[in-house]
């Protein structure tokens, strides 16, 4: 794949993409491996706001997202809970 880059702007097949500078960017597959989850779960995390436990991502091609490796590793170290909350649903 031909890639021309200049100051964080990459031209991929006629599509101009602004990528952040100074960050090591990794693919969805690499992020999934680091987090120990599926690529589908990484896409779900990309859809969430980073303040709500999601991952910031950038579109690097029409169907490819990239992630900041440091942010992925930080999320991997964070304590995450899985499953349903103990005590079940609590109506207000």
Would you state the pLDDT for residue 5? 42
Domain ranges of the chain: 21-77
Would you state the pLDDT for residue 60? 79
Would you state the pLDDT for residue 8? 56
pTM here?
A: 0.70
pLDDT tens, N- to C-terminus, the chain (92 residues)? 334 444 555 555 556 567 788 889 999 999 999 999 999 999 999 999 888 889 999 887 778 889 999 999 999 998 777 777 777 767 76
What is the C-alpha to C-alpha distance for residues 5 and 10, in angstroms, rounded to an integer?
4
Would you state the pLDDT for residue 6? 41
- Joined tokens for residue 27: 């693919």
């Amino acid at each position: 794949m031909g890639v021309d880059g200049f100051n964080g702007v990459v031209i991929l097949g006629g599509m101009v993409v602004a990528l952040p500078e100074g960050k090591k960017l990794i693919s969805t597959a690499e992020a999934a491996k680091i987090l120990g989850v599926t690529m589908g779960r990484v896409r779900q995390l990309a859809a969430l706001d980073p303040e709500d436990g999601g991952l910031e991502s950038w579109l690097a091609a029409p169907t490819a997202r990239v992630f900041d490796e440091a942010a992925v590793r930080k999320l991997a170290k964070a304590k995450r809970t899985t499953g349903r909350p103990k005590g079940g649903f609590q109506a207000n």
